[in-house]
A = this chain, B = another copy of it.
């Protein structure tokens, strides 16, 4: 059961936005939400296990309108994006997306967007939960890059699961079956402008539909929803159980804001060997040489199923000394055991290390594991 609590009423004001899919999500049964990029993000229905089953066995539809786009447009678009990204984007072609860690000058990971090259001079950072619009404007302004940086009217809708490809082909045509992973096409379908990308925050396969007209949110939802009934479609949200079972990193959740990409277990996406300069390069090279003092690792936690625990709690050596902190804990349906993600101090980060974890029911034994989990 996803832990949540009923807060006071949310003021209908300028501080929190609602995506074009919000009303339909609620009608379809979403009951728990959070706020992400100042936008309500539906998280789960009142039956998270059924959400998980739809995602892993059939198909799930998620409102991820909160995954905002930062559009960089102009002659220097690629140049700026290369400077902002710790991953080499030099070869990014139109119609292709790449997952790219962004760091600050100290090498701290500040966001991990999917970067889409929409056309020669237009790039979208499809961002996680930090204000990259402001960051990009600062960098472009200080460096006199010839670009315009905006947040366009683009709201992603995720369609994920083993039957997602069949559903999407039924709605948009068989050409979608040929779309490679992280490739996209910009189309208008029944008057709805969308970028269809084979991507999404699960390992079940699927698509993200980047709606380019917020007035058509209900139209797009209904298209997918109605065709999806035959596939047993269900509403959901970015699913912590599935993504922990298969390890997809969640910025702002899995590590604190001081961690670098190596500490966040996404170091493989950092290209230190490029000739061009990028923000944080010098700091990241130094960190690489020094080696990490702590690292995001998996945790196998003993005992009865734990409620999801998405808040940092203590992690100790058996003798009671500090060993780090867990960032999130959940019960895995697939592996029928409790999994955790923790930022663990060296040398306790070695797989097999025995630690103990604070839970609501007291301390429990835990074993460090590599990511992704290999169970």
Q: Does A8 contact B (CB under 8 A)?
A: yes
Q: Does A292 contact B (CB under 8 A)?
A: no
* Interface segment out of the listed A135-143, A212-220, A294-302: A135-143
CA distance A30 to B135 in the complex (A): 34
| A5 B14 Cβ-Cβ under 8 A | no
**Total chain A interface residues with beta-carbon distance under 8 A:** 52
CA distance A253 to B38 in the complex (A): 13
- Given contact pairs A104-B137, A134-B130, A134-B131, A4 touches B9 in the complex (Cβ within 8 A): yes
CA distance A134 to B279 in the complex (A): 13
Q: Does A311 contact B (CB under 8 A)?
A: yes
Q: Mark A114-142, 1 if CB is under 8 A from B, else 0.
A: 00000000000000011100110111111
A residues whose Cβ falls under 8 Å from a Cβ of B: 2-16, 26, 30-36, 38, 40-44, 104-106, 110, 129-131, 134-135, 137-143, 252-253, 279, 310-311, 327-328
| B7 A34 Cβ-Cβ under 8 A | no
Apart from A4-B12, A5-B9, A10-B33, 6 more pairs, CB < 8 Å: A4-B10, A7-B10, A8-B33, A12-B311, A135-B138, A139-B142
- Given contact pairs A9-B5, A32-B8, A141-B104, A15 touches B311 in the complex (Cβ within 8 A): no
**Nearest residue, chain B, Cβ from A41:** B15
Which of B13, B33, B42, B140 meets A311, CB within 8 Å? B13
Which of B12, B44, B105, B110 meets A310, CB within 8 Å? B12
Residues of B within 8 A of A327 (CB): 14
Residues of B within 8 A of A41 (CB): 15
Which of B12, B42, B139 meets A5, CB within 8 Å? B12
Shortest CB–CB separation between residue A279 and chain B, in angstroms?
7
Shortest CB–CB separation between residue A27 and chain B, in angstroms?
12
Pick from A33, A34, A43, A110 the residue with the most CB of B within 10 Å.
A34
| B135 A134 Cβ-Cβ under 8 A | yes
| A30 B43 Cβ-Cβ under 8 A | no
| A14 B311 Cβ-Cβ under 8 A | yes
Residues of B within 8 A of A8 (CB): 26, 30-33, 42
Which of B4, B30, B131, B140 meets A130, CB within 8 Å? B131
Pick from A9, A16, A129, A142 the residue with the most CB of B within 10 Å.
A9
